[in-house]
Structure 1
Amino acid sequence: MSELLSEAEARDAADGLAGLRDRFVLDGAVYLDGNSLGALPAHVPARMEDVIRRQWGELRIRSWTEGGWWTAPERVGDRIAPLVGAAAGQTVVGDSTSVNVFKALVAAVRMAREDGGGRDEILVDAATFPTDGYIAASAARLTDCRLRPVAPAEVPSALGGRTAAVLLNHVDYRTGRLHDLPALTAAAHAAGAYTVWDLCHSAGALPVGLDAHGVDLAVGCTYKYLNGGPGSPAFLYVRRDLQDRFDSPLPGWNSHAEPFGMRPGYEPAEGAVRGRVGTPDILSLLALEAALEVWDGVSVAAVRAKSLALTDFFLRCVGEYVPAGRVESVTPEAHAERGSQVALRCPSDAGGVMRRLIGRGVVGDHRAPDILRFGFTPLYVGFADTERAARVLAEVVG
């Protein structure tokens, strides 16, 4: 047995989060793609059987009231809130990340215009996930703003009197680089602009501190580190003191002050409910609610500590096992700049390497042209998994 494997087994034995692994449906593979789709919590199928057979099959329409369907978007939002550092009453769940980015960004520009000063510019992360860029471009056209792609590190110097809103990713989806949310939010506020943060690769992986850092608006998906299931609805955070100014570009009957009044004129509801649009996707929403129960009693700080330990250990194992020159880490070494994934540049047939890894039971993913991504979900990934992944990678590329 290698020294690294012995160390891995010892660290797993001392891991306070190790018991959570049994709460997920896992086969013998090393699953390092939770930053794309989280594993299934084992109790969710039985919960969904009740939703389908009893709530839908027997109660039918009565479940909107008796089953709590109507209030699920806010209720599930309040389950997510502590995981992103928010108090209750500011987070609503529904729609996709893309739709929520659009709502938040247009609302941010509208608030900036209300403040005065002729603001007509949106800054967007130049390396953002493509859809965020597409949405930002559409929002800019809709609001007659100029769109300026900039690197997050350049945002403070790019801000000016014309900047209305800044759309940034908390963690870069390709490299796993963690951007400085507190400092960038403060810089935007100093310039009179509003922030919209995309938390898809940080929610459930590390402390975010939305309330503590005064973030204006934030969105995030729930099918990655929150394990909500494929296509599970996203969340939208609206800071409490901005809720009465949140002017959604997608007003719907579900966000109306009197949703069953069926009045022709729109009057927005109070609070985070303004973030709702149409009828909630109840099956996905309740699957997410059940999945979030695995977080009961779990500290996000403990998850972050294990995440950093796992990614440190993986990089160390890669350094010792993989022949020199075959891969290169593009994920920052500094903990303050690292999310919960490791991205390795593999100049020789990265897509083929990942296919062979998956064939040998190490599941990550490939981002063109040459990036191998490995996501570390501390709720169910251990140190022995990490050592095995690096050892198999060395065999595949060597």
Structure 2
Amino acid sequence: MTLDDCRRLDAEDPLAALRDRFMLPEGVIYLDGNSLGVLPKTAPARIAEVVAKEWGEGLIRSWNSAGWFDLPQRLGDKVARLVGAAPGEVVCTDSTSINLYKVLFAALSQVLLATPDASPQRRVVLSERSNFPTDLYIAESICRERGFTLRLIEADELPAALDQQVAVLMLTHVNYRTGAMHDMKAVTAAAHAVGALTVWDLAHSAGAVPVALNDSEADFAIGCGYKYLNGGPGAPAFVWVHTRHAGQFTQPLSGWWGHAAPFEFTPHYRPAPGVARYLCGTQPIIALAGLECGLDSVLAAEPFDAGQGPMAALRAKSLALTDTFITLVEQRCAGRFALVTPREHARRGSQVCLALNDGGPGAYAMVQALIARGVIGDFRAGDAQMPDILRFGFTPLYLGFEDVWNAVEHLVQVLDREEWKRPEFNQKLAVT
């Protein structure tokens, strides 16, 4: 593969014009949209309008006149188009961790109702050891509170680990470290076959890969607003609950915004119908306004899907970008790296993760050297069972194939010139 090949792919790319919707700093190749998406050009003016006009002039009237009150549901309907859900099934609110607590509590409540405390059955929450840590921390806490056990396994142990003791299978659809993607439909069916419920974290899926929650018969899902959805740092997350569960259980954070009639101000809680009960307190309107700009930036790709369903065009380009990166790294970096991300398209998210073939140190410093050159990826530390990772996210909305070529060229130079050995690149920063 040559630079001319990459330029030809850019010239043929139907999504290339979408790059103009984003504020990309000059001289930066941004391969970290899987941690924080790029700023949509519409966001600064929209946020300023909310602050100066809707808040500044409309004041409290804007809850009605500017549509603030309905924002969680209205944005939820936009997320629904990206994750295979129906209108009215998703709300945007709170953080991923808080939403996980809500749905995991609801799922375990359903299990406890079906199997009384005297029964030894179904007291296990099953997850991957390499799942995103906050998910494991939340699960560990709630298991301790409610008398369940958190069991952690490797991904290849999943089929054998699904048994009659499992109450809930909690997985991230695309693994944050490796970029490996589960077959949601098949895994959900396997969990249901042993009587377990599923909780899916879509933080590295929504806006990056096709998701089909309803078609997969999943039970609960949560996701992040500031990665591939480009909602800004700390943007509100989202929560989805299958309609067969949505009206059955009261989530534990029963705040006034999830009340059936918040402005009746009654002293006792009455949950709202459906997923609206997963709202809690007063909503962060300014942050939701930023998230809506991010969602609209992703939905701008819908006209290019040619009737194949939401995310089809983005997914096709994502796979082409990651294929190109893998090919160029293997072609030009002389066996220095092992590919951690699955090569098979059906098992790959929208990122590529590399580990040093010699197993030695240097991955962190290599990432820092690349960042100094304007190629922004990130690093994830390993342990006794997992290697250190150089992690690169590929967001097809604003990345091109020449960007991929140039990123690998910078990586080659970092290696050839041994820039990663410089002391300043070996100083650990707070955020890696």
What is the CA distance between 1:245 and its match in structure 2?
A: 1.1
Q: Which residue of 1 aligns with 2:330?
A: 319
Q: Which residue of 2 aligns with 1:25?
A: 23
Aligned counterparts, 1:221-300, within 5 A: 221-294=224-297, 295-298=299-302, 299=305, 300=311
TM (norm. structure 1) is 0.97
In the alignment, structure 1 residue 12 sits paired with structure 2 residue 13: no
Aligned counterparts, 1:180-219, within 5 A: 180-219=183-222
Aligned counterparts, 1:1-398, within 5 A: 4-27=2-25, 28-116=27-115, 118=119, 119-294=122-297, 295-298=299-302, 299=305, 300-324=311-335, 326-346=336-356, 347-369=360-382, 370-398=388-416
Q: Is the 8 A contact 2:15 2:301 kept in 1?
A: no
The CA deviation string for residues 53-85 of structure 1, in whole angstroms up to 9 with x for no partner, is 000000010111111111111110001101011
Between the aligned partners of 2:156 and 2:266, the Cα distance in structure 1 is 47
What is the CA distance between 1:49 and its match in structure 2?
A: 1.1
The CA deviation string for residues 246-283 of structure 1, in whole angstroms up to 9 with x for no partner, is 32011111101121222221110001101101111111
RMSD between superposed Cα atoms in Å: 1.3
The CA deviation string for residues 221-262 of structure 1, in whole angstroms up to 9 with x for no partner, is 011111000000000001112111132011111101121222
In the alignment, structure 2 segments of 5+ residues that lack a partner are 306-310, 383-387, 417-432
Q: Is the 8 A contact 1:124 1:136 kept in 2?
A: no
365 and 89 in structure 1: CA distance in 2 versus 1, 3 angstrom threshold: same
Matching residue's letter, 1:93? C
What is the CA distance between 1:157 and its match in structure 2?
A: 1.9
Between the aligned partners of 1:20 and 1:362, the Cα distance in structure 2 is 20
Q: Is the 8 A contact 1:97 1:235 kept in 2?
A: yes
Aligned length: 395
Matching residue's letter, 1:59? G
Query: Is the partner of 2:280 in helix, strand or coil?
Result: coil
Q: Is the 8 A contact 2:47 2:286 kept in 1?
A: yes
What is the CA distance between 1:94 and its match in structure 2?
A: 0.6
The CA deviation string for residues 300-325 of structure 1, in whole angstroms up to 9 with x for no partner, is 0111111111001001111111132x
Between the aligned partners of 1:263 and 1:153, the Cα distance in structure 2 is 51
TM (norm. structure 2) is 0.89
Q: Is the 8 A contact 1:89 1:240 kept in 2?
A: no
What is the CA distance between 1:297 and its match in structure 2?
A: 4.8
Query: Is the partner of 1:165 in helix, strand or coil?
Result: strand
Query: Is the partner of 2:392 in helix, strand or coil?
Result: strand
Between the aligned partners of 2:192 and 2:182, the Cα distance in structure 1 is 17
Query: Is the partner of 1:65 in helix, strand or coil?
Result: helix
Between the aligned partners of 1:154 and 1:260, the Cα distance in structure 2 is 50
Q: Is the 8 A contact 1:257 1:267 kept in 2?
A: yes
The CA deviation string for residues 165-197 of structure 1, in whole angstroms up to 9 with x for no partner, is 111011111111111211110111111111000
Between the aligned partners of 1:397 and 1:175, the Cα distance in structure 2 is 22
Between the aligned partners of 1:84 and 1:350, the Cα distance in structure 2 is 34
Query: Is the partner of 1:246 in helix, strand or coil?
Result: coil
What is the CA distance between 1:349 and its match in structure 2?
A: 1.2
In the alignment, structure 1 segments of 5+ residues that lack a partner are none
What is the CA distance between 1:394 and its match in structure 2?
A: 1.0
Between the aligned partners of 1:276 and 1:195, the Cα distance in structure 2 is 21
Bigger shift: residues 259-268 or 93-102: 259-268
Q: Is the 8 A contact 1:12 1:382 kept in 2?
A: yes
Q: Is the 8 A contact 2:247 2:275 kept in 1?
A: no
The CA deviation string for residues 5-41 of structure 1, in whole angstroms up to 9 with x for no partner, is 1000000000011110010001221100000000001
Matching residue's letter, 1:73? P
Between the aligned partners of 1:204 and 1:154, the Cα distance in structure 2 is 28
Between the aligned partners of 1:297 and 1:203, the Cα distance in structure 2 is 14
Matching residue's letter, 2:398? Y
Between the aligned partners of 1:107 and 1:329, the Cα distance in structure 2 is 38
Between the aligned partners of 1:255 and 1:362, the Cα distance in structure 2 is 43
Q: Is the 8 A contact 1:152 1:179 kept in 2?
A: no
Query: Is the partner of 2:2 in helix, strand or coil?
Result: helix
Identity in percent: 50
Query: Is the partner of 2:57 in helix, strand or coil?
Result: helix
